[in-house]
Amino acid sequence: MNDATGMYIAETHTSAAVWQYRVEKMILEGRTRYQTYQICEVPRFGKSLFLDYNIQTSILDEYVFHECMSQPAMTLHPNPRNVVVCGGGEGATLREALKHNTVEKATMVDIDKELVDMVKQHMPEWHQGAFFDARTTLLHTDARQWLADKKGAGFDVVLSDLPNPHEDGPAQFLFTREYFQIAADAMSDEGVFAMQAGSANENYPECMVSCIETLESMDVFPHVAGYYGIVSTFFQPWGFVLASKRHDPLALTEEEIARRFAQRGVSNRYYTPRFHAAAFTLPEYLLEAKRHSGRVLTDAEPFAWTA
Amino acid sequence: MNDATGMYIAETHTSAAVWQYRVEKMILEGRTRYQTYQICEVPRFGKSLFLDYNIQTSILDEYVFHECMSQPAMTLHPNPRNVVVCGGGEGATLREALKHNTVEKATMVDIDKELVDMVKQHMPEWHQGAFFDARTTLLHTDARQWLADKKGAGFDVVLSDLPNPHEDGPAQFLFTREYFQIAADAMSDEGVFAMQAGSANENYPECMVSCIETLESMDVFPHVAGYYGIVSTFFQPWGFVLASKRHDPLALTEEEIARRFAQRGVSNRYYTPRFHAAAFTLPEYLLEAKRHSGRVLTDAEPFAWTA
Amino acid sequence: MNDATGMYIAETHTSAAVWQYRVEKMILEGRTRYQTYQICEVPRFGKSLFLDYNIQTSILDEYVFHECMSQPAMTLHPNPRNVVVCGGGEGATLREALKHNTVEKATMVDIDKELVDMVKQHMPEWHQGAFFDARTTLLHTDARQWLADKKGAGFDVVLSDLPNPHEDGPAQFLFTREYFQIAADAMSDEGVFAMQAGSANENYPECMVSCIETLESMDVFPHVAGYYGIVSTFFQPWGFVLASKRHDPLALTEEEIARRFAQRGVSNRYYTPRFHAAAFTLPEYLLEAKRHSGRVLTDAEPFAWTA
Amino acid sequence: MNDATGMYIAETHTSAAVWQYRVEKMILEGRTRYQTYQICEVPRFGKSLFLDYNIQTSILDEYVFHECMSQPAMTLHPNPRNVVVCGGGEGATLREALKHNTVEKATMVDIDKELVDMVKQHMPEWHQGAFFDARTTLLHTDARQWLADKKGAGFDVVLSDLPNPHEDGPAQFLFTREYFQIAADAMSDEGVFAMQAGSANENYPECMVSCIETLESMDVFPHVAGYYGIVSTFFQPWGFVLASKRHDPLALTEEEIARRFAQRGVSNRYYTPRFHAAAFTLPEYLLEAKRHSGRVLTDAEPFAWTA
């Protein structure tokens, strides 16, 4: 009844809990300049990637996260041709964007070249060749700085698939109003921005609701909407935020989504026309958390994720 | 970086993981004839109840679980007067049912008298006096046998708030077609049945989808629908199934729900008129899991929950 | 094979490991001004005390620790009449000292009155009435300050049974040369001092060997000797240091110890005449660690225990 | 204060505890026909080997275990020429035996060829070339059967370095009277046998004291003595038993040991002439445990190690 014998990767989930993922087989591990990584087999989740001992993705439901990361923004834009992915190491956010046959150019900017090189070779189930698509440009530099240099570039869609904003972590200033403004300035007049925004759970909603609050505080995005995906691998529903200069995601009908998917050759497993409305219907507790603990995140007062 | 010092209650989550909930303060612990219990303070979740070292409920979001357990079925019935709660130890499912001022009689049948006596005294935040409501009858006996003896009683709503069907556990035969038939036989012609049905996550959907499959296989319930609530405390969305003899939950409009709430004096925090449709929109993976691993549960081949 | 379900108290053992002690039953828990405490049942160890989530003692082998804490020093002194215990919360070090019928006065100075009051009532198996012995004086004040005020008092034996010297912890300055000098100044010309000195394991010997090094560096103690006891409860042998103004512990023969025990009415379970020599025979790795990492601990540069 | 984030190998220590060793770096892992293995870096212990998720040895103190495994028996024999190691996968027990320049032939019999092949390549710090010593013969077959076939072979020393006798494990019948008789029959008239015998801790002494009891119950070994080594890596002192047909280990003086070491070119780090007596002085609790729970282990009633 109490045999816990085995190998585990333990992740501290706020002050409330420690989650120990069981490792059946270690496939590969290493350390880049920025982070440690392990690829391993976890029961029921299968092949999984951990960065700094935090699970990032598993083969079971990586599609949930990556469809949520890409598809709502890509679908909302009437004609996404020039797309940017900030971060997105596994290449699966890129893969999802490229599903839309309207895309002519997709630029992925991930600072960790060593990690992406490893992913190319050892995680083909994730990128599925997206790195080698003729439309893809892959850059290894600071995403915020790169976007700042692209002011006026007129990108159609910017997808911000970055690590959580840990205090002193590499992504803390990629969850602030200043960064969002830089992204807006690099986008066209009907540009759509989407980001992963942290847990959508009631016990740790502060990051997600503050991202919504921050994007809403900006004149440039008249349409801001939170949504979530049920990522079993994370042991919680995961939050995303979409911010749009012209098009309203809540006005998108099931029929219109289906029409665009057909036109663009898109087929999804999680973000389906039928499911769009449900994904954008936030539970009351998130609305309440936004009122109580949502705040505008700035470079001066960024979010500090609690380990 | 690796100070794990502290007190924990560890719960094995299938073969994939161990979750260690941090215990800030032990409030009460003991053992009844049927199970061990701990009431303790967990960071971010607050006062929480563990049974056999599995978390059951926390003060943070007990309302999510218990509204999901009671409100859809209660609301769907046009005039719920005579209600039964099977199990439901904390008294919060009962509390939710009693919110509907149509109720004249509510019978709760929980076999574990010692636990319910403890709850009455030490968990008033959960029952909020429901045990002492004049409409309440509290019985401590086997719920299946009691329902079998009530054939033809014509109950309006039966809420099955029981432990997961662990192999050789007390609830294994309360997740079978035979039990569901017993419940149906004790209900009126427009009776509504609802049950907690296990995880709604992609990595362990077998119980929930088999409950749907089983109820759908019965002629007595033309309307069967799964839905889920986001229970942070469980580190996963939780599944429920509603089965109805006459009324279709998917036909219930936001306006009609709002009208019934107003008429019956009901106010909810999670199951709101706005949220009904989203709660009943199952993610594709559950539909797929139902096709692949859903099966009819019977006394001969019941579900065996994997610790 | 991987069911870890249960309740645990986890203790971080340096950076190498986390030890999770299984809790079968929580008997009592609380918090004093200085520390948290739990009394609980642990399988194979039985009733156990944890302070700040670190195991202190179990009924299985508390006698090992407390005999080692008291008996070598008490036995070495030819006629211990006036004895001081610094710390020693459970009252078992006091109990061991009082076994010697030569003792006329035993003063225990433990700053944590709330803890000692709790122990008196709930841990009688440890003190066995020692707190109520007519020879006992119990004080709740800072032991170092109290000893400083007793300069010239001529105590025969001082037993320093204090928490490990964690950085910023209450005992950090009770493991320094200055404190040892204060103790020496309060002792008679044939005074004997003994202390618990931390792990005697090869992977964390720094504290013990530095205590030896520090006491050896002082002119006042010509005889300094480390010894250890096998404390299963700590998952490691535990180190102690004895410092003596006149009598050499290594010159004490099995026969002389037996004679003193008989004369003074002492009967032990671990520190027996036969075992004395073995307990004082340090393994080579401790001698080597002393050469390599032992250093003189001072108020300016005290030991900082690694959690 | 509660960041447990990291990778661990967890080992269940009876029902009392779970030990989680922290893994800084996974060097190699795999699975043989008989067991799983991991070689990894553990803080403070360094390079370590785990078999079936139980730590076997670390570079910090492998010498303690392997000197204890080999040196007392080798030293006690007046002229060990023909030596057998049963088990001993890492090759370090063999290495220790070969230190004695009296040895002409050393045969190691370990059933797990895949593991030994891995060790040869990846754990050179352990074998230090012993596998390639001209005096070594390495066999991969069942050690008990092999010894049975060698009745009358007249081995001088047999060293039994085998896994703990888990129920249904491969070594359960290598901790029985029948096996010990087989070993005796293959040894000369002044043969010496030594074995690892499990924990020497008070909370789990049953295996060690039963090994002593069993060997004492046999006419063939007039001299049986338990001893222990402090193996930090195991978080407990570890027990060994020596059984000798003619020579008494307790009669071996420090001077004689030093003389033999000098003569045979042996130099040790743990088992030194000075330390011999202490290592063979068992704490009282082991003597008491032997009286209370020691029993003769037989093929019909072997020891069943509790995970």
Contact (Cβ atoms closer than 8 angstroms) between residue D53 and residue D10: yes
Average pLDDT over residues B167-188: 95
Between the alpha carbon of residue D88 and those of residues C178, C273, D270, the distances in Å are 50, 37, 19
User: Which pairing describes strands C25-31 and D223-231: parallel, antiparallel, or unpaired?
Assistant: unpaired
Output the CATH code of domain D8-58: 2.30.140.10
3-state helix, strand, coil in chain A (%, to 5): 35, 30, 35
- Chain B residues with CB under 8 Å of C18 CB are 2, 4
Whether residue C9 and residue B8 make contact (CB cut-off 8 A), yes or no, is yes
Is A149 known to be catalytic?
A: no
pLDDT in tens, A227-258: 999 999 999 999 999 999 999 999 999 999 99
What pLDDT, on a 0 to 100 scale, did the predictor assign at position C4?
Answer: 86
Closest residue, chain D, to B43 (C-alpha): D2
What is the per-residue pLDDT across C170-215, written as a single tens digit (0 to 9) for each? 899 999 999 999 999 999 999 999 999 999 999 999 999 999 999 9
Residues belonging to chain B: 307
**Active-site pick, B61, B112, B156, B161:** B161
Write out the residues of chain C at the interface with chain A, using a CB-CB cutoff of 8 A. 1-6, 20, 22
**Distant-in-sequence, close-in-space partners of B266: CB < 8 Å, separation ≥ 6:** B71, B75, B99, B100, B260
Q: CA-to-CA distance for A167 and C170, rounded, in angstroms? A: 30
pLDDT at C255: 98
Closest CA to B43 of A290, A13, C50, A11: A13
State the Cα–Cα distance between residues C233 and D112, nearest whole angstrom: 35
Query: Model confidence over D186-229: pLDDT tens digits?
Result: 999 999 999 999 999 999 999 999 999 999 999 999 999 999 99
H or E stretch at C237: strand C236-244
Q: Which residues of C touch B20 (CB under 8 A)?
A: 8, 10
Contact yes or no for A203 and B14 at CB 8 A: no
CA-closest candidate to residue C184, choices C193, C196, C197: C193
Q: Residue B44 is which amino acid?
A: R
Contact between chains at D61 and C203 (C-beta distance less than 8 A): yes
Pairing between strand B236-244 and C6-13?
Answer: unpaired
pLDDT digits (tens, 9 = 90+) for B180-193: 999 999 999 999 99
How large is the average pLDDT for residues C270-291?
98
Q: What is the pLDDT of residue B307?
A: 64
**Could you tell me which residues come within 8 angstroms of residue A100 by beta carbon, excluding any fewer than 6 positions away?**
A74, A75, A80, A264, A265, A266
DSSP 8-state symbol, D250: G
* Residue in C60, C233, C281 closest to D278 by CB: C281
Mean pLDDT confidence for C123-130: 98
- The two beta strands, C25-31 and D6-13, are unpaired
Q: Which of A246, A267, A242, A245 is nearest to A257 (CA)?
A: A267
Percentage above 90 pLDDT, chain C: 95
Q: Is the pLDDT of residue D1 over 50?
A: no
- Could C45 and D285 be called an inter-chain contact, meaning their C-beta atoms sit closer than 8 Å? no
CATH topology of domain C8-57: Spermidine Synthase; Chain: A, domain 2 (2.30.140)
Q: What percent of chain B has pLDDT over 90?
A: 95
Strands D155-161 and C236-244, sheet pairing: unpaired
Mutating which of A3, A5, A164 best tests the D interface, going by the most D Cβ atoms within 10 A?
Answer: A5
Exposed, middle or buried by CB within 10 Å (0-12, 13-18, 19+), for A167?
exposed
Name the residue among B165, B169, B172, B157 with its Cα closest to residue B244.
Answer: B157
User: What 3-state DSSP class applies to D25?
Assistant: strand
Q: Do B6 and C54 touch (CB under 8 A)?
A: no
Pick among C2, C22, C24, C53 to test the A interface (most A CBs inside 10 A)? C2
CA B144 to chain D, closest CA, distance in angstroms equals: 36
Are C38 and B7 in contact (CB < 8 Å)?
yes
Distance CA B222, CA C224 (A): 87
Task: Give all chains having 3 or more CB-to-CB distances under 8 Å with chain D.
Answer: A, B, C
Distance in angstroms (rounded) separating the CA atoms of residues A200 and A184? 24
Residue B98 has pLDDT above 80, yes or no: yes
pLDDT for B173 beyond 70: yes
pTM of the model: 0.94
Position B290, amino acid: K
Angle at alpha carbon of residue D251, lines to D248 and D252, rounded to 5°: 100
At the top level of CATH, the class of A62-293 is: alpha beta
Task: Using the predicted structure, report yes or no on whether residue D285 has a pLDDT greater than 50.
Answer: yes
Across chain B, mean pLDDT equals: 96
For residue D146, the distance in angstroms to the closest alpha carbon of chain A comes to: 32
- Residue B169 predicted with pLDDT over 90: no
Judge: A1–C3 Cβ closer than 8 Å, yes or no.
yes
State pLDDT tens for residues B9-26: 999 988 999 999 999 999
Encoded tokens for D236: 């407990």
Chain B positions in Cβ-Cβ contact with residue C38 (cut-off 8 Å): 7, 26
Contacts of B256 (CB under 8 A, 6+ apart): none
Q: Are C154 and C163 in contact (CB under 8 A)?
A: no
Question: Shortest Cα distance from C148 to chain B (angstroms)?
Answer: 35
> Other C-beta atoms within 10 Å of C250: how many?
12
Please report residues of B whose CB lies closer than 8 A to that of D20: 4
**pLDDT value of position D307:** 65
* Cα nearest neighbour of B272 on chain A: A284
> What is the domain partition of chain A in residue ranges?
8-58, 62-293
Those chains having 3 or more beta-carbon pairs within 8 angstroms of chain B are: A, C, D
- Helix, coil or strand: residue B228: strand
Q: Which residues of chain A fall below pLDDT 70?
A: 1-2, 307
Query: Which residues from chain C sit within 8 angstroms of residue D18, using beta carbons?
Result: 4, 8, 19-20, 22
Q: Do D2 and B3 touch (CB under 8 A)?
A: yes
Helix axes B206-216, B177-185, angle to 10 degrees: 50
Residue B1 has pLDDT above 80, yes or no: no
B277–A278 C-beta distance less than 8 A: yes
* Interface size, chain C vs chain D, as Cβ–Cβ contacts under 8 Å: 130
Residues of D carrying an active site annotation: 161
